[in-house]
Chain A
Amino acid sequence: MNDMTPTREQRSAALEGMGCKRKRVEDIRFTQGKGNYVDDVKLPGMLHGDFVRSPHPHARVKRIDDSEALKVPGVLAVITAETLKTVNLAWMPTLAGDVQMVLADGKVLFQNQEVAFVVATDRYAADDGINKVIVEYEPLAPLVDPFKSMDKDAPVLREDLAGKTSGAHGPRKHHNHIFEWTVGDKELTDAAFKKAEVTIKEMISYHRTHPSPLETCQCVCSFDKIKGELTIYGTFQAPHVIRTVVSLIAKLPEQKIHVIAPDIGGGFGNKVGAYPGYICAAVASIVTGKPVKWVEDRIENLTATSFARDYHMTTEIAATKEGKVTGLRVHVLADHGAFDACADPSKWPAGFFNIVTGSYDFPTAHLAVDGVYTNKAPGGVAYRCSFRVTEAAYCIERAMDILAQKLNMDPAELRLKNFIKPEQFPYHSALGWEYDSGDYHTAMRKMMETTGYAALRKEQADKRAAFARGETREIMGLGVSFFTEIVGAGPSKNCDILGIAMFDSCEIRLHPTGAGIARMGTKSQGQGHETTWAQIIATEIGIPADNIMVEEGNTDTAPYGLGTYGSRSTPVAGAAIAMAARKIKAKAQMIAAYRLEVHEDDLEFDIDGFRVKGLPEKFMSMKDICWAAYNSVPPGMEPGLEAVSYYDPPNMTYPFGAYLCVMDIDVDTGVYNVRRFYALDDCGTRINPMIIEGQVHGGLTEAFAIAMGQEIRYDEVGNVVTGSFMDFFMPTAVETPHWETDFTVTPSPHHPIGAKGVGESPNVGGVPAFSNAVNDAFSFLGSTHIQMPHDFWRNWKAAKQLGAVA
């Protein structure tokens, strides 16, 4: 051994495997403006499409006159529902088992609904064209308030459902009712409430908002008439699902559909489902024989493609006087807008909302969700969260604070008293989930110690006294949030999309020189898959991450996968990577054994190669094994070194975290200041701590936006009034607070590398932390619950209603 021989630490570091703060390889092109997004796709002869949209929230379409539009230079076609009917595409199925108009078919059901699609030689002509299409409407009474959806005299929105007394998820109670979904033991829960010493009840709303990624939804569709092939470049979080859906609804052979998702500028759930723009661009390409591009503008993105949330959750907790919870009862009124276009696994009309028991040991619980139609844009999608998990986390975390207030207990103490204990894992919740692992007490105590929680409470008490004496106009709130997520959809036993099990996949090919390519069923939209997937392979196989290229998004080359959303990539595809890597490793071991002339059981894996046990100098590196795989494999073995894995997870993963928000509010203006925000996340095994930190920063920023002002709001007659970033709160670096991040590590016992997923945790845990801080600030003035969003004027209104402002 000389000085030049690298140490084990150096060999390990050279791999840049799991646990390494490896710089994001994709950023080389992104930071130089060299990304390749859908709008960068320019095909020869490409046409442009744009929508005529409805100014009315609810109206009958009496007549569409396209004659003037067709006279506009450059306008080639105007597609309406009548055109689409000729190819049986006027309506399309939604992922939630409903159907949705592609273009207005006799009626419009929300403002900015797609009415006609104008196809022109350039983007300007298309817009000139839409301004010349004359649409005659007969306005109908709009239904805006979901609480009035099931009134006896409520207007009939969905005439296509006339006479249908049941939908995809069972019986319908009313013409505007979509589904009722119940989980849990009602009798037992009602009994718990009957004998409860203390109960609370509150209607907790989680307002309508929108994922609003930087890049809007867009596509380029190109139909080759000769080959009968359709190529679609699109902003798709789940390209394979799009291919299958297109095949099923357009009746095209699936092998003749090529879906390519290039670089994507953020998804956050907005890019999971199928939108009318995709269908219209495809039909336009088939009709014209030319490629057709459709690019949504910001107004269209905010007002027409899928919103998120809009859950109104009447929540009750039963407890003992000492603060031990004994029962949970929740009824949700879910506003889906004009069509149920949720992007949930098919059997889950309210997603995984039954995670609503949260981190607490509820002996019994009951949940009922009623979905209803209103004259609003259809949805809703999972905005940076697993399906309806952020709604559930907000519901229980707000309710626990309300219970703490009623019991006059500290909210952190109440949580500690009711947490599922480490020895209870795997834990079966009252609403049917099996939590894989957790150590909630440790995480909570670490948060309390690191932040100086007790001292902050003391400061708050002093400040309240000073406020009472008239010495300050500022109030202080501490927002505690302890969330448990359910991510990684999902096991085939309970998760599918349109009948396709929610597995995911990885194919790894190693090349002779010790390099390779990994192709995935997932699709990064900014998560950094090209960086982190290579790190898993580096650690598993012993090839440097820099030698592994990761490719996603092309359905012709990638193995079938269900895509990236719901924090499923690491729990499902991350596992597939490890499993594929282990298949390769097993073959590599056989090759090494053959070359080193020992039995393979005599070998042990050592960072970047195999070593003969007890003979440290007898070593074969993975680099050399790769070469050998192409020229000297054992007799009878096929050459090459590649593997594919389709991973069907045995369970979901359950990341958790303890957050604290410290906020000051000026009661005279309602202006808040997030003085401090601490986020402890436990996502199991950590693949790239730098990327985790970035994910947490991003998710917290979105949580901050949502809790403190970001909403899609309709006026009382159904006009959407938040159609731009002027009124839809999108914080800049100036408004965004400073984030402190921390972690504990509780690996998932069933995941090959113990990882749980983290991208959405901060949004799930962040929203209740902000809202609890506002509510905690006002609680001493006598309030129990103030609805989100907590923007300045609403804070002032709360202060005024509580008598703090004259």
Chain B
Amino acid sequence: MIPGSFSYHRPASVADAVKLLSDLGEEARPLAGGHSLVPMMKLRLATPAHLIDLHGIPALKGISRSGNNLVIGAMTTQHDLLASEDVAKSMPILHEAALLIADPQVRYRGTIGGNVANGDPGNDMPALMMTLGASYRLEGTGGARDVAAADFYQGAYFTALEPGEILTSVSIPVPAAGHGYAYEKLKRKVGDYATAAAAVVLTMAGGKVATCAIGLTNVHETPLLAADAAAAVIGTSLDAATLKTAAAAAAAIMAPAADARGPVEYRKHVGGIMVTRALQRAAANAK
């Protein structure tokens, strides 16, 4: 539980950080909150020769509006999200999900950028970003580009980030006023990753579902958008048969690993239940 030796860098700008990352190559890793990387280093499962600490870059922190989008700097902590009135009002599901991440100590340190960029299927924010239709700004020596969250995740810990690139901000379209939302997460205890979790954002019209997006956490090597399940509920009033169909459609794309949280069959089963419960709760709190 003791990391190997490494060099520590603390650049003051994104340009410096990107240059360091590019110059030092594969031996370098950016450091955000460190809650994934540092434990891996303590187990020597990760042995970066260089750590590029992003805490010295003020431009990476903060929450702002850009048109109808909320733009959140990568180094904004989960605690910052919870403290933001704008997030609480315009995107309450983000508030709800952030509260389900670990514990206050972790949330003071853990960042949204680290959470979404690491490609860890257990993290809560990626599925949520896909559900909300967010995009990520990636900056490298060649400039900046935007990648949709839905296109970002390629495999466990494999993402669209190219060598030398840093995820600098997340841009999230503000959902329609009166939308319904829920993030249902089954976990064994505080601090645990989800056994299965489902994010739902929907709008209702005349007692029926008008629009719906469903995201799934930790039931596959990447976060998932359950498009078929979402399509199945459009135009319905979420009757028992529809919920069953939606849960089954969601479960059909799940491929969780068996682990101490339970065997594959259980994790898929409760994944379906999380979808059902999230749909019901989202419909209930839609206006």
Interface of A toward B, CB cutoff 8 Å: 50, 123-124, 126-128, 131, 297-299, 668-671, 709, 713, 721-722, 726-727, 729-732, 734-735, 791-793, 796-797, 805
Chain B residue numbers with a CB within 8 Å of A727 are: 259-260
B238-265 interface with A by 8 A CB criterion? 259-263
* Cβ A732 vs Cβ B190 within 8 A: yes
Question: Residue on B with the closest CB to A668?
Answer: B273
Name 14 A/B residue pairs within 8 A (Cβ), A-sorted: A124-B5, A126-B2, A297-B1, A299-B1, A668-B269, A668-B270, A669-B186, A670-B266, A721-B260, A722-B260, A726-B191, A732-B191, A735-B190, A792-B195
Q: How far is the CB of A57 from chain B (nearest CB, A)?
A: 18
Q: Interface digits, B1-14 against A, CB 8 Å rule (1 contact, 0 not)?
A: 11011000000000
B189 within 8 A of A: yes
B83-110 interface with A by 8 A CB criterion? 103
Starting from the known contacts A299-B1, A670-B266, A732-B191, 8 additional A-B residue pairs (CB-CB under 8 Å) come to A128-B4, A726-B191, A726-B192, A729-B189, A734-B189, A791-B188, A792-B262, A796-B269
Interface of B toward A, CB cutoff 8 Å: 1-2, 4-5, 44, 103, 186, 188-192, 195, 259-263, 266, 269-270, 273
Cβ 8 A contact of B188, one of A124, A298, A792: A792
Chain B residue numbers with a CB within 8 Å of A721 are: 260
Q: How far is the CA of A544 from the CA of B269 in the complex (A)?
A: 62
Q: A124-B5, A299-B1 are in contact. Are A731 and B189 (CB under 8 A)?
A: yes
Chain B residue numbers with a CB within 8 Å of A805 are: 269
Chain A residue numbers with a CB within 8 Å of B263 are: 793
Which of B2, B269, B270 counts the most A-chain CB atoms under 10 A from its CB? B2
Chain A residue numbers with a CB within 8 Å of B195 are: 792-793
Q: How far is the CA of A34 from the CA of B71 in the complex (A)?
A: 45
Q: Which 5 A-B pairs have the closest CB atoms?
A: A793-B262, A127-B2, A297-B1, A727-B260, A793-B266
* Cβ A793 vs Cβ B261 within 8 A: yes
Chain A residue numbers with a CB within 8 Å of B192 are: 726
Q: How far is the CB of B263 from chain A (nearest CB, A)?
A: 7
* Cβ B190 vs Cβ A796 within 8 A: no
Q: How far is the CA of A123 from the CA of B2 in the complex (A)?
A: 8
| B-side interface mostly | loop
* Cβ B270 vs Cβ A669 within 8 A: yes
Question: Residue on B with the closest CB to A711?
Answer: B260
Q: How far is the CA of A205 from the CA of B153 in the complex (A)?
A: 43
* Cβ B189 vs Cβ A732 within 8 A: yes
Chain B residue numbers with a CB within 8 Å of A128 are: 4-5
Q: How far is the CA of A131 from the CA of B5 in the complex (A)?
A: 13
Q: How far is the CA of A123 from the CA of B259 in the complex (A)?
A: 32
Q: How far is the CA of A730 from the CA of B44 in the complex (A)?
A: 24
Q: How far is the CB of B68 from chain A (nearest CB, A)?
A: 37
Chain B residue numbers with a CB within 8 Å of A722 are: 260
* Cβ A796 vs Cβ B270 within 8 A: yes
* Cβ A669 vs Cβ B273 within 8 A: yes
Cβ 8 A contact of B186, one of A124, A127, A792: A792
Q: A124-B2, A297-B1 are in contact. Are A735 and B266 (CB under 8 A)?
A: no
Chain B residue numbers with a CB within 8 Å of A669 are: 186, 270, 273
* Cβ B269 vs Cβ A735 within 8 A: no
Q: How far is the CB of B259 from chain A (nearest CB, A)?
A: 8
Q: How far is the CA of A721 from the CA of B257 in the complex (A)?
A: 14
* Cβ A797 vs Cβ B266 within 8 A: yes
Q: How far is the CA of A796 from the CA of B259 in the complex (A)?
A: 15
Q: How far is the CA of A671 from the CA of B261 in the complex (A)?
A: 12
* Cβ B189 vs Cβ A735 within 8 A: yes
Q: How far is the CA of A793 from the CA of B256 in the complex (A)?
A: 14
Which of B4, B103, B188, B266 counts the most A-chain CB atoms under 10 A from its CB? B188
Chain B residue numbers with a CB within 8 Å of A126 are: 2
Question: Residue on B with the closest CB to A727?
Answer: B260
Question: Residue on B with the closest CB to A297?
Answer: B1
Q: How far is the CA of A647 from the CA of B196 in the complex (A)?
A: 57
Q: How far is the CA of A726 from the CA of B192 in the complex (A)?
A: 7
Q: How far is the CA of A713 from the CA of B261 in the complex (A)?
A: 13
Q: How far is the CA of A712 from the CA of B254 in the complex (A)?
A: 28
Q: How far is the CA of A131 from the CA of B266 in the complex (A)?
A: 38
Chain B residue numbers with a CB within 8 Å of A50 are: 2
Q: How far is the CB of A22 from chain B (nearest CB, A)?
A: 33
Chain B residue numbers with a CB within 8 Å of A734 are: 189-190
Question: Residue on B with the closest CB to A298?
Answer: B1
Chain B residue numbers with a CB within 8 Å of A131 are: 4, 44
Q: How far is the CB of A128 from chain B (nearest CB, A)?
A: 6
Q: How far is the CA of A462 from the CA of B273 in the complex (A)?
A: 26
Q: A668-B273, A722-B260, A793-B262 are in contact. Are A729 and B4 (CB under 8 A)?
A: no
Cβ 8 A contact of A671, one of B5, B44, B186: B186
Question: Residue on A with the closest CB to B244?
Answer: A806
Q: How far is the CA of A722 from the CA of B261 in the complex (A)?
A: 11
Chain B residue numbers with a CB within 8 Å of A735 are: 189-190
Q: How far is the CA of A685 from the CA of B275 in the complex (A)?
A: 55
Chain A residue numbers with a CB within 8 Å of B186 are: 669, 671, 792
Chain B residue numbers with a CB within 8 Å of A730 are: 189
Q: How far is the CA of A124 from the CA of B269 in the complex (A)?
A: 45
* Cβ A729 vs Cβ B273 within 8 A: no
Chain B residue numbers with a CB within 8 Å of A713 are: 260
Chain A residue numbers with a CB within 8 Å of B189 are: 729-732, 734-735
Chain B residue numbers with a CB within 8 Å of A123 are: 2
Q: How far is the CB of A658 from chain B (nearest CB, A)?
A: 29
Question: Residue on A with the closest CB to B261?
Answer: A793
Q: How far is the CB of B72 from chain A (nearest CB, A)?
A: 27
Question: Residue on A with the closest CB to B186?
Answer: A669
Q: How far is the CB of B193 from chain A (nearest CB, A)?
A: 8
Q: How far is the CB of A280 from chain B (nearest CB, A)?
A: 17
Q: How far is the CA of A731 from the CA of B192 in the complex (A)?
A: 11
Q: How far is the CA of A297 from the CA of B44 in the complex (A)?
A: 14
Which of A127, A131, A669 counts the most B-chain CB atoms under 10 A from its CB? A669
Chain B residue numbers with a CB within 8 Å of A726 are: 191-192
Q: How far is the CB of B113 from chain A (nearest CB, A)?
A: 23
Chain A residue numbers with a CB within 8 Å of B5 are: 124, 128
Q: A298-B1, A727-B260 are in contact. Are A709 and B188 (CB under 8 A)?
A: yes
Chain B residue numbers with a CB within 8 Å of A792 are: 186, 188, 195, 262
Chain A residue numbers with a CB within 8 Å of B260 are: 713, 721-722, 727
Q: How far is the CA of A793 from the CA of B270 in the complex (A)?
A: 9
Chain A residue numbers with a CB within 8 Å of B4 are: 127-128, 131
Question: Residue on A with the closest CB to B2?
Answer: A127
